[in-house]
Amino acid sequence: MSTLLLEAAPNTVLGNIIVVSGAFIILLILLRLFAWNAITSVFANRAKKISDDIDAAEANNKQAADLVKQRQAELAGSKEEAANIIQVANDTASQNRAKVLATANEEASSLKKRAQEDIEQERKEALNSVKGEVANISVQIAEKLIGQSLDTNEQSELIDSYLAKLGE
């Protein structure tokens, strides 16, 4: 029996190879007819999706880089604007300080001038008051020394001449 198997085996193996090869070819043909388009379209869709994702990532990356540049430019502009605002504030403060000092100096000068005018006015009023009192006292002294009374005109002339002598 073993001889019988050996003699039948080469024919069976060759037959099996032919059957399997034929089945494989039929399978390939059926795949090509019915499933090949679906399989290639899945792969094409997958490749297209990957390509689109890569393109979108590159676009997003470029957009992010542009936004970074824009933010940096805005930040630099903000820093410059802040420096300008600080400079303007310092200049304004210096001008205001100068104005306040000038106004204070003017007011102090004005107060000093008014004080001097008031002092001069008070001095004149005091001098006039003293003049009147000196006139009365001198008239009283003169009346006591002379023993007679002086009239108003003579009294005024006497006082004016006395004060003129004092003023010289």
Tell me the per-residue pLDDT of 111-145, one tens digit each, with 9 for 90 and over: 888 888 888 888 777 777 777 776 677 666 666 66
Comparing 10-14, 17-21, 44-48, 85-89, which segment has the lowest mean pLDDT?
10-14
How many other CB atoms are found less than 10 A from the CB of residue 145?
8
Residue 150 neighbours by CB under 8 Å, 6+ apart: 139, 142, 143, 158
When pLDDT is cut at 50, 70 and 90, the band that residue 1 belongs to is very low
Our CA angle for 127, 156, 158, nearest 5°, is: 95
CA distances from 11 to 8, 15, 49 (A): 6, 6, 52
Which pairs from 133-136 meet CB under 8 Å and 24+ separation? 134/159, 134/162, 134/163, 135/159
Looking at the predicted structure, is the pLDDT value of residue 45 above 90?
A: yes
What is the predicted pLDDT for the residue at 7?
56
How many other CB atoms are found less than 10 A from the CB of residue 158?
15
